[in-house]
Structure 1
């Protein structure tokens, strides 16, 4: 059944009503020419039917379903019967900055059970969103994906009240690459006052890319396309040719990057003027409640890929560079000696180094500056591939967050099918969803007695498993050895 027309700043839109939830898909929030800043879409006067997802952002495997000129759309799920403005979850998808889209996340179940208004967005990916060409004559081509997300946030600020949402109660959230985007976005002056809380799931260890690295990527892509002397010509390169060139450059560059990925938000000094860690440390977000989460076996998916992802080698190299070969061997021995029966100690060491410890460091910075922060780890193995064979690896929490209990949902862009959930899946997912919705509504994922906030000297880590429980992060042999090696490294650096 179609909804009534809902006004927006561009024109009225029609959605569909399903099981008490109004759904608006493929709502344009901006348009953009290649390597240019996003601008508002052309206004319309007749009600626009928004019942199907918009075009995918161009990406490997989906260039035939993509439209680079009109991929900037968002999707909204809003309860049909509301008597007050509802809190809003603004979600940025992951995909290593090169794949994904809002169509992989059906927010109908979360909207109904909040109640809340759920928004998922598209943003430009790969070279179209992250190739930094502003120093090569294309003046607008810097941090375009971040600017896209800002444009979507602005659209929500201006329009979400028409859908029953509270523009003054927006939670900025994302998973994986989307978590990096959310963290970067949260620290920008341009986003100030447009959200009141932030949730980041499985953000990589490095949430920001250096300008030097971005310049190197751009130079190599231009050289690969033989356009060094005419960089502007890249704006007319056919998409398959552009993405093939980027893939070739990416394979050669992956081992040279901090995170094993070629793209990401860039510390360019303009769109992103400061390192997000420094903004947190200075207390500029102390009034923003923050939830940082990760999965227990984050690195298993990347370890099992063929060949293993570049971040595996990069992470080991970084630990060896920080603590020396002897320090690495001590860590490896400690993880072997303390491994669970079902644990791969090498994977556990890498997961701590690349995912868990950087998130804990961000939590410490925010807490030390006076901010409210909660830290979690998802230990449940969903009965769905790849988790059945790889455990609670990267994305396990995300699969449960977006599940429509008692079923996991299909992911059309990732080409992953959903399926029925086990009783354990339902139990853990229901607890996780309830915590997220409570955070969106109140700024706290649970009552303080059940899940205390992360504070200096007190570092509770919430474990989503059976049962849900709290463990101290700053205890145990592994934590002690990391602390010893880190302190020694700091002493040697200042000596």
Structure 2
């Protein structure tokens, strides 16, 4: 059944009743020409039917169907309530090159909050992250971040009409989306537009240098034979553009320290400061922060064919930081302390690329006076790829968006959902309840069960069966890292 029309700043929209929740899908919040900043869409007067997800942002596998200028849409799930509800604003992951809001049906979370759930699309790959402003395109810097800002501004301006509280928005994201959340939270343009932040599995490097981004842009232009005519890139067919980017990506993985093409860039304008420096100076000490990761983050990337570039890059960085002797000492420590089912090499790289950077950011925020909680997801969902790879990257996300007692389908990733085991339901229910409590109350759990992360006491919540909390700064692995990091000349 269709909903009543809801007014927005662009025009009225009509959604569908989805159980106890109203769902509005594919609501345009902006449009954008290629390599130009997002602008408001043309206004409409007749109610617009927003009952199906909007066009996917162009990405591998979805280049022929995408409508490039109209991919900037969002989805809203709003339960009935007699008072304004808090809002979860979610930025999807996908290594900055894949994904979309259509992979996340927020109706279950909305009904159980209750809360208003928003998922957004943003431009991906070269269209969202290729930094061309030094090559004649003044607007083409951090376009995906500008898309996310435009989506946040739309929510602030319109969410009250859907029953949401514009003064109670939680920024959230997973993987690449978590990296964008950490950067977005520090921007002057976003100040005062959100009150909390949740980042799940943010990559170790949350920000790229302008020089590296410029090098990527130069390489892509050369690959397209456009070094002397950068303007022609606006008319390059999408398959040709994305194929050139893929070739550059393969070479970059072996030739540069960064090893990856895309991500938020410290460009000095859209992102004026390194995010960790903003957290460190206390500017965000009034923003509660939850940082989470999965136990076996790297397993998925190790088992990809070929293994992901971040594998080689992370090993190179650890070896460069501590030398060959330091690398061998760490690897020996992980071998000596490995669980029966654990790959010591994967565990070392997971700590180096995912867990340690997240705990470092937690320390930075806590030292500056901010409230922060740190978690790790150790449960293996009964769903591929987790059944065969363990609680690897995305295991927590699969449980967060599950419609208990079932995992949901992920149409963009082409992953099927399915029934959950009792253990899945138990862990997912607790994880969802903690997220919704964080969104509604600013703390994920009662203090006795999960105390906040503090400089003198560093609790790590473990989502498994049973839920428990352990000290982060304990054990042989922690001591090995601490001793190596304390050595003169160490840069990790």
TM-score by length of 2: 0.99
Matches within 5 A, 1:210-289: 210-256=209-255, 260-289=259-288
1:131 lines up with 2:130 in the alignment:
yes
Cα displacement (A) at 1:258: 5.1
* 1:27 paired to 2:27: yes
Which residue is 2:330 aligned to?
A: 331
Deviation at 1:235, TM superposition (A): 0.5
Aligned to 1:186: 185
Corresponding residue for residue 423 of structure 2: 424
| 1:27-66 CA-partner distances (Å, limit 9, x unpaired) | 0000000000000000000000000000000000111221
Q: Does 1:155 align with 2:154?
A: yes
Please give the secondary structure, in 2, of the residue aligned with 1:213: helix
- Match of 2:489, SS? helix
1:492 aligns with 489
- 1:32-71 aligned at under 5 Å gives the runs 32-71=32-71
Deviations 1:4-27 (A, max 9, x none): 000000000000001110000000
Q: In the alignment, is the contact (CA less than 8 A) between 2:484 and 2:490 conserved in 1?
A: no
How far apart are 1:493 and its partner, in Å?
6.0
What is the deviation of 1:262? 1.0
Q: 1:256 to 1:374 in 2, by over 3 A?
A: farther
* Between 254-263 and 267-276, the greater mean CA deviation after superposition: 254-263
Query: Aligned residue for 2:103?
Result: 104
The answer to whether the 8 Å contact 1:91/1:172 transfers is yes
CA distance in 1, matches of 2:29, 2:382: 36
**1:254: how far off?**
2.1
Q: How many Å apart are 1:256 and its aligned residue?
A: 4.3
Does structure 1 conserve the Cα–Cα contact (< 8 Å) formed by 2:378 and 2:464? yes
Q: Give a deviation string over 1:67-121, Cα, whole Å, max 9, x none.
A: 1110000000000x20110000000000000000000000000000000000000
For the 8 Å contact 1:204–1:259, the answer to whether it is kept is no
- Distance in 2 between the 1:106 and 1:312 partners? 32
Q: Which runs of 5+ in 2 are unaligned?
A: none
Equivalent pairs counted in the alignment come to 491
Alpha-carbon RMSD: 0.9
**Distance in 1 separating the partners of 2:429 and 2:165:** 24
Stretches of 4+ aligned residues off by more than 3 angstroms: 255-260
Match of 2:383 in 1: 384
Alpha-carbon distance in 1 for matches of 2:48, 2:446: 43
After TM superposition, give the deviation of residue 342 of structure 1 in Å: 1.0
2:82 is the alignment partner of 1:115: no
1:332/1:345 contact within 8 Å kept: yes
What is the alpha-carbon distance in structure 2 between the residues aligned to residue 178 and residue 350 of structure 1? Answer: 21
Matched, 1:408 2:415: no
Measure, in 1, the Cα distance between the counterparts of 2:226 and 2:161.
47
The answer to whether the Cα contact below 8 Å between 2:31 and 2:41 also exists between their aligned partners in 1 is: yes
Compared CA separation, residues 471 and 256, structure 1 to 2 (3 A): farther
Aligned counterparts, 1:202-217, within 5 A: 202-217=201-216
Match of 1:442 in 2: 441
Aligned pairs (5 A) from 1:459-470:
459-470=458-469
Q: What is the distance in 1 between the residues matched to 2:51 and 2:373? A: 37
Deviation string, structure 1 residues 105-141 (Cα, Å, up to 9, x no partner): 0000000000000000000000000000001001110
CA contact (8 A) 1:332 1:346 kept: yes
CA–CA distance in 1 between the matches of 2:191 and 2:255? 34
Maintained 8 Å contact 2:280/2:365: yes
CA drift of 1:261 comes to: 2.3
Which residue is 2:78 aligned to? 78
Q: Structure 1: which 5+ runs fail to align? A: none
